[in-house]
Amino acid sequence: MTWFKQKWPRLLLVAGLVVLLDQLSKQLVLHSMPVGSGFPLIDGFFDIVHVRNPGGAFGFLSGQSQSVREFFFLFVTGVATIFILWVYNTIPETHRILASGLAMVFGGAVGNLIDRLRFGNVVDFIDWYIGDLHWPAFNLADSAICIGVGILIFHILFNRMPEEN
């Protein structure tokens, strides 16, 4: 898989796979579960639910009007994706894991942007909890973003960032 060692095909593959899996999983939820429904996958720990998040992470801005949310999230997503692509372009071929992590962030951002453009909100369906303590519901795009950011943080904390030329 020599082509995977090349930077831009890797972005298309990783980000494309994230978007594809994210959108397919959301379609499964959309077509099989009414909003607000759910079922346990691992009783007392992990449910599949169908919720809509009009806001950002942890419901950020969910109480604002739809026009404020649309402007904010489209603007922030646009700026973030341009920034991610710029940073991605600066990463040398020797940092494949870092590049893949940024591609995951890019794919996750695109996956959630598709929801915002289609529905005006994001489809979430993964619900982790212990007893009454629930993590806010999320989706595969959110997971990819978190993993990608985790890879970036690892590189920063352990001084694995590319050297400046």
Answer yes or no: 142 catalytic: yes
Which of these is catalytic: 22, 47, 127, 142? 142
Which of these is catalytic: 47, 124, 127, 132? 124
Look at strands 38-42 and 46-53 and give their pairing. Answer: antiparallel
Answer yes or no: 43 catalytic: no
Identity at 83, one-letter amino acid code = F
- The region that residue 122 occupies, defined by phi over 0 for left and psi between -120 and 50 for alpha, beta otherwise, is beta
For 31-59, what is the HEC assignment? HHCCCCCEEEEECCCEEEEEEEECCCHHH
What residues act catalytically?
Answer: 124, 142
